[in-house]
Structure 1
Amino acid sequence: MEIRLSKLALAGVFTLGALGLAACGGGGSSDSDSGSESASPTPVGGTWEVDNFLPSTTYVNRCVSPRSGTDPATGSAYADVAGTREDENNWLRSMSNELYLWYEEIEDQDPASFDDSLAYFEELKTFALTPSGREKDRFHYTVPSDEWYSQTESGVYVGYGIQWALLSSTPPRKAVVAYLDEESGGDLPDIMTRGAEVISVDGVDLAYGDDVDTLNYGMWPENDGESHVFEIRPLGSSTIETVTLVASPVQSDPVQYVKTEVTDSGRKVGYMLFNDHIATAEAELIDAVTELESESVEELVLDLRYNGGGYLDIAAELAYMIAGDNTVGQVFEIAQFNDQHPETNPITGAPLDGTPFYSTGLGFVDESLYGEELPTLNLSRLFVLTSENTCSASEAIINGLRGIDVEVIQIGETTCGKPYGFYPLDNCGTTYFTIQFSGVNAKGFGDYSDGFMPNGDYGTDADLPGCVIGDDFDNLLGDADEARFATALNYIETGECGDISTSAFSTSGESEDAPIFNARVTKEVSRSNRIMVK
């Protein structure tokens, strides 16, 4: 399905997560920067035969609407040439046969019978279910390539700089602010803080309104300069206030609220909120760990509750910065591709030696960081704050550290369960995400498709020590009174979860001692997966 990066579809009730988005019709070629279509080029490769596949290179870059100009990802001219819909579909078919983790479970269908490449791509996956009844492949996406490049390289998207938490998927619906993309709040009104509740959007009642299109376009705007009127109940208030929010390009601030908390016993505990494994996170993580290292912290609480993932190499850098000397001679994660590629990475051609714990910078955005020694806290255990929004590259941090016997204490909820990843593949203006590998740690463990569970009962390494506790929208993130952080601090002091008084959200705006579970914070593909770079 094609993912619209700044929008979540509502259809009578909230459709939770990017998987609820409808695919856009019309096929794979992007209209942006495209030239005119050629005069009826002939498809290459001959006619379709079941289970007979030509190499995907036969069809690559043969486009219905070839792009012109410079490819921002390479700095060179686009390689597109005039092709046909059948060419684009044949590339998808051959690529999937070569790279898809469960390629043998794809039903081979004639690519000439589909006039929409996105619809054809939706068929190029397994439809099997897990033992728990969930879809085995819940992570099959497409994104327009220009949007993908903007998201991953700069963290820029069009919006308000607000990440909404959806607390109820059926009427009466509820949505509150989970966090702001800029720690300072940018130009947002002061009342727009964590826990502020949305009452209405452009005059449509959020809880029971039937005009879901107005709600959808208001909460997830697509265009720079759009303005929408919101009724908001601020955190801790019973008064409803009206504000106008104007959409603009927003740059996500992936690392926030870096601080040191001193416990009653005098133990120094570092805290950071880490929201996105995007390229700009590298420098911010280095700065954060450098600050905590200077404070001589003895413990770290890493808040991953809203971190859906991103670049795996960022996770490998951070894992080193946490564990330091404990990582020497160890591998962070080993990618396992399908059985056609037992020894070699089919994308890069490199041996499957695994992703290391990177001890030097990779220079994602700031090239001066490349090869520079990374700071480290040299910790032998880590506290992670998690939710069902904790996915993929974030789960890889947990799994990678456990693979080298760093103790991980989990506070919060079961994670989303995404031990899979991919290299994004651009063809004809669309970037395709098809599961290509699963990741295992140094001990060979990677079976956590149902997530990591605090005090779990799976009977596997997906069971972590820790405490089950919901999200506390009545306190700010990083506040020592916020339920999950408070629980971690209590665990550090006593070795137990304790009886943490949790201020949670209620419809009246008053506090209740009832934490919120299953609050969904939906993000773009670039911020919700395990992504490798070539």
Structure 2
Amino acid sequence: MCNLKCCFTLTFSSSALLLLSACGGGSNSNNSVDPPVVPTPQTNERWVRGVFEDESLFKDSCAVPRNGVSSVTGDAFSDVVGNVQDEKLWLRSWTNNTYLWYDEIDDNDPSNFSVLSYFAQLKTDFRTDSGSFKDNFHFSQGTEEYLTRTQSGLTFGYGLSWQFVQATVPRKIIVRYTEPGSPAELAGIERGDELIAIDAIDFISTEDANEVDAINQALFPTSTGQNVNFTIQKQNGEQRSYQLSPSNVRLSPVRNSTLLSTNIGTVGYVQFNSHIQSAQSQLISAFNLFSQNNVQALVLDMRYNGGGLLSMASQLAFMVSGQQQTDGLTFDELKFNDKHATFDPITGRRIQATPFYGREIDYDQGLFTSNALPSLGLNTVYVLTSGATCSASEALINGLRGIDIEVVLMGDTTCGKPYGFYPQDNCGTTYFTIQFQGSNQKGFGEYADGFSPTLTPIFEADVQGCLVEDDFSHELGSANEGMLSAALNYMQTGECPVQASSKSFNAALLSQGPRIRTTSSVVDAIILENAINQVITEPTN
């Protein structure tokens, strides 16, 4: 039987309801002699343009069924013998049923594609007002890898988070930070270090396709036993060589909880990198520190936070603002496609708004606990942002603005993802396709081009604040670091620093030519994290 978490993740509710998952699968056996197995021909017999059979007919029918149990959850796989056409037809019907813009997809013959290439084109090509594709968030990932990262707080790699300044020649990537205890940190790699070469390959200038492939394999490793030599240029100009071997690295999503003394009193600062399960206890510890020291202001550093648990964004919003300012109000309300105006197409439950959650959550059991969250009761919060601030991080900004908490942004325009999805496993791959759009208490959710910091807001997605470049010459959490320094100065003077944002993240994505990958679901959270939701049952007292 498939566990709820491996099949899909469900919407938060404050009601005492649980759902059973109908994951499909099973096997038959008898005493008769089995006939010879004849491979199923891959034809388009079951594909008729514009006619969509129910997705349940194809769910868990796999060309290569998994046996045994998940290494992360311990739950038995529900796969049965099928073929690649079954996998593609499931993707087609599932998309047609749940995709937010299902009516903007060309119904192409799945026989002309591999499974992953077929999924890749099951999305809209429509654009936003700025000319960007409105769906930049369509991707897939190995299920065990996804579960390991989100549920266990582990990722495979060197413990490096990269800033991709330029993805094509002349390439440039810089270290944002390293994870504590990771191969990169133990080797002495630091924020601001720049990559010059990998093994004997000129990282900056090579245009050889095989060497570019080797660079990608080195930057985003998938197996152990791989030793890679990184030539790094330190900020003083010195070049050093580091030999790193990838391993499982425990993520530390909450870092540098700090108290800063200023002219207006004590200011709290915390670096928050990802809305994953392990962040909850770390956030609570940080806010207990801030509450006990009666901070007068708060700086949330989410410049590298690509999102994650929507429920955790709700909890964080409560910890910022408190019970009095959130009681009975909506943090986020989901809207699905026009086939599902009343009921959630994944859970089958009536669509209800997500409130501001004021209690701890047992994410393993999908339950609220009786423990109240700490809260600061602030009516203003300062948020450090970049093009990598995405999804649940933007939902936090939008949710607080919806109840008239003043949000001041320092940094760059956020990624623009007012959308979310239910990660769905099928045959060992977890698929992410946009299924809903979120809006706040005021009904606003139109920020597909991101929230932009500006001193003179004009449009609804303009937010009071300053454009500030990321400062790699100082450690995160240092009062001298550019974005944090700008926030501290602004809260005291109302003035922005004299500089313009480089928009380097967006520039890297728009550049043309042979490129390295600019994101990884393992190493980076850029535009890849998702608004995960769970079913929560109220505890009985």
TM-score interval (norm. to shorter): 0.7 to 0.9
| Farther off after superposition, 364-373 or 339-348 | 364-373
Task: Encode CA deviations 1:422-444: one digit per residue, 9 max, x unaligned.
Answer: 00011111111111001111111
Query: Shift of residue 116 of structure 1?
Result: 1.7
Structure 1 CA distance for aligned equivalents of residues 393 and 270 of structure 2? 14
After superposition, residues 2-13 of structure 1 pair within 5 angstroms as none
Structure 1 match to 2:11: none
Structure 2 CA distance for aligned equivalents of residues 366 and 58 of structure 1? 30
Q: Counterpart of 1:209 in structure 2: which amino acid?
A: T
After superposition, residues 303-342 of structure 1 pair within 5 angstroms as 303-325=301-323, 326-342=325-341
Q: Counterpart of 2:249 in structure 1: which amino acid?
A: V
Query: Shift of residue 203 of structure 1?
Result: 2.4
**Among candidates 281, 284, 288, match of residue 283 of structure 1:** 281
Matched, 1:240 2:230: no
Task: Encode CA deviations 1:452-510: one digit per residue, 9 max, x unaligned.
Answer: 0011778432110001111111111110001110010011111222458xxxxxxxxxx
| Farther off after superposition, 515-524 or 202-211 | 515-524
Q: Counterpart of 2:121 in structure 1: which amino acid?
A: E
Structure 2 CA distance for aligned equivalents of residues 38 and 249 of structure 1? 40
After superposition, residues 262-277 of structure 1 pair within 5 angstroms as 262-263=261-262, 265-277=263-275
Query: Shift of residue 127 of structure 1?
Result: 1.6
Structure 2 CA distance for aligned equivalents of residues 279 and 374 of structure 1? 15
Change (3 A) 1:246 1:71: closer
Query: Shift of residue 367 of structure 1?
Result: 8.3
Matched, 1:128 2:114: no
Structure 1 CA distance for aligned equivalents of residues 184 and 120 of structure 2? 40
Contact 2:178/2:184 (CA < 8 Å) preserved in 1?
no
Contact 1:43/1:83 (CA < 8 Å) preserved in 2?
no
| Farther off after superposition, 190-199 or 313-322 | 190-199
Contact 1:255/1:272 (CA < 8 Å) preserved in 2?
yes
Contact 1:472/1:484 (CA < 8 Å) preserved in 2?
yes
Structure 1 CA distance for aligned equivalents of residues 424 and 464 of structure 2? 38
**Among candidates 164, 167, 172, match of residue 166 of structure 1:** 164
Contact 2:120/2:138 (CA < 8 Å) preserved in 1?
yes
Structure 2 CA distance for aligned equivalents of residues 217 and 43 of structure 1? 32
Change (3 A) 1:457 1:426: farther
Query: Shift of residue 317 of structure 1?
Result: 1.1
Structure 1 match to 2:64: 65
After superposition, residues 461-500 of structure 1 pair within 5 angstroms as 461-499=460-498
Change (3 A) 1:166 1:189: same
Task: Encode CA deviations 1:33-64: one digit per residue, 9 max, x unaligned.
Answer: xxxx9643699997333222221111111111
| Farther off after superposition, 91-100 or 362-371 | 362-371
Contact 1:471/1:517 (CA < 8 Å) preserved in 2?
no
Structure 1 CA distance for aligned equivalents of residues 75 and 356 of structure 2? 32
Contact 1:411/1:469 (CA < 8 Å) preserved in 2?
yes
Structure 2 CA distance for aligned equivalents of residues 220 and 53 of structure 1? 37
Structure 2 match to 1:206: 203
Structure 2 match to 1:300: 298
Q: Counterpart of 2:428 in structure 1: which amino acid?
A: G
| Farther off after superposition, 351-360 or 67-76 | 67-76
Residue 362 of structure 2 aligns to a residue whose secondary structure is coil
Structure 2 match to 1:142: 140
Query: Shift of residue 341 of structure 1?
Result: 0.7
Query: Shift of residue 395 of structure 1?
Result: 0.5
**TM-score, scaled relative to structure 2:** 0.83
Structure 1 match to 2:85: 86
Structure 2 CA distance for aligned equivalents of residues 76 and 193 of structure 1? 39
Structure 1 match to 2:54: 55
Task: Encode CA deviations 1:150-176: one digit per residue, 9 max, x unaligned.
Answer: 111122122111111122233332222
Q: Counterpart of 1:339 in structure 2: which amino acid?
A: D
Change (3 A) 1:43 1:360: farther
Structure 1 match to 2:193: 196
Structure 1 CA distance for aligned equivalents of residues 412 and 84 of structure 2? 45
Q: Counterpart of 2:193 in structure 1: which amino acid?
A: A
Structure 1 match to 2:417: 418
Query: Shift of residue 185 of structure 1?
Result: 6.0
**TM-score, scaled relative to structure 1:** 0.84
**Count of aligned positions:** 481
Contact 1:456/1:463 (CA < 8 Å) preserved in 2?
no
After superposition, residues 518-529 of structure 1 pair within 5 angstroms as 518-519=504-505, 522-524=519-521, 527=525, 528-529=528-529
Structure 2 CA distance for aligned equivalents of residues 148 and 109 of structure 1? 28
Residue 383 of structure 2 aligns to a residue whose secondary structure is strand
Change (3 A) 1:327 1:110: same
Contact 1:280/1:365 (CA < 8 Å) preserved in 2?
no
Contact 2:158/2:184 (CA < 8 Å) preserved in 1?
no
Query: Shift of residue 140 of structure 1?
Result: 1.1
Contact 1:167/1:516 (CA < 8 Å) preserved in 2?
no
Structure 1 match to 2:515: none
Structure 2 match to 1:31: none
Residue 209 of structure 1 aligns to a residue whose secondary structure is coil
Structure 1 match to 2:530: 530
Structure 2 CA distance for aligned equivalents of residues 114 and 41 of structure 1? 16
Task: Encode CA deviations 1:79-126: one digit per residue, 9 max, x unaligned.
Answer: 111112222222111111110001111222333x24522122123211
Change (3 A) 1:291 1:486: same
Q: Counterpart of 1:305 in structure 2: which amino acid?
A: R
| Farther off after superposition, 71-80 or 246-255 | 71-80
RMSD: 2.6
Structure 2 match to 1:19: none
Structure 2 segments unaligned to the other structure (5+ residues): 1-35, 509-517, 535-541
Task: Encode CA deviations 1:172-205: one digit per residue, 9 max, x unaligned.
Answer: 32222111122x6667346411111222221222
After superposition, residues 340-351 of structure 1 pair within 5 angstroms as 340-351=339-350
Structure 2 CA distance for aligned equivalents of residues 200 and 385 of structure 1? 31
Query: Shift of residue 375 of structure 1?
Result: 1.1
Matched, 1:353 2:357: no
| Farther off after superposition, 520-529 or 326-335 | 520-529
Task: Encode CA deviations 1:228-257: one digit per residue, 9 max, x unaligned.
Answer: 11222223x222222222211111110000
Residue 408 of structure 1 aligns to a residue whose secondary structure is strand
Structure 1 match to 2:430: 431
Change (3 A) 1:365 1:161: farther
Change (3 A) 1:240 1:444: same
